[in-house]
Each structure stands twice: as structure tokens, then as C-alpha cells.
């Protein structure tokens, strides 16, 4: 069984989420561990806007990436 290789986005929180997705895809990653800082994942927006998570999923799909973990340290 193969396991997805993911990239933690926290070290690139100064870059827009879509840019990190593009880079991770180019670098050959299968998905992301999304940090809850920068614009990568904003919990308050996810709670307030019913379309927020769907837009994140669409961005991930655009770059053929999955997400298995959301990190909030």
C-alpha cells in the first residue's frame, strides 16, 4: 500500500494558499497538511461562510492535491 506524500504549509504561510498549492504540485507532492495561519485555512471564515471549504477543495483539486490534515499548533 502506498501512502500519500504531503507537505506542511506552515513554513510558507507568507505565500498565498494557491501559490503553495501550485508549488507543491510542481514538486510532486500528493497533498498538503494545511496550516491554520496565513490565508491557508482560516477557521473563523470556514465557520462563517458555507462556501469557504468548497473553495479550498476546488483549489486543491485544480493542482491535483489532497488534504489529510489541518494543523493548528
Give pLDDT, residue 73: 77
What residue ranges do the domains of the chain occupy?
6-71
Residue among 38, 33, 44 nearest 17 (CA) = 38
Give pLDDT, residue 1: 66
Segments in the chain below pLDDT 70? 1
Q: CA 15, CA 19: separation in Å to the nearest integer?
A: 6
Amino acid at each position: 500500500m502506498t501512502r500519500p506524500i504531503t507537505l506542511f504549509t506552515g513554513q510558507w504561510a507568507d505565500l498565498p494558499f494557491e501559490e503553495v498549492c501550485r508549488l507543491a504540485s510542481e514538486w510532486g507532492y500528493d497533498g498538503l497538511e494545511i496550516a491554520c495561519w496565513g490565508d491557508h485555512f482560516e477557521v473563523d471564515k470556514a465557520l462563517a461562510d458555507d462556501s469557504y471549504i468548497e473553495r479550498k477543495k476546488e483549489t486543491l483539486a485544480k493542482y491535483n492535491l489532497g488534504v489529510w490534515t489541518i494543523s493548528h499548533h
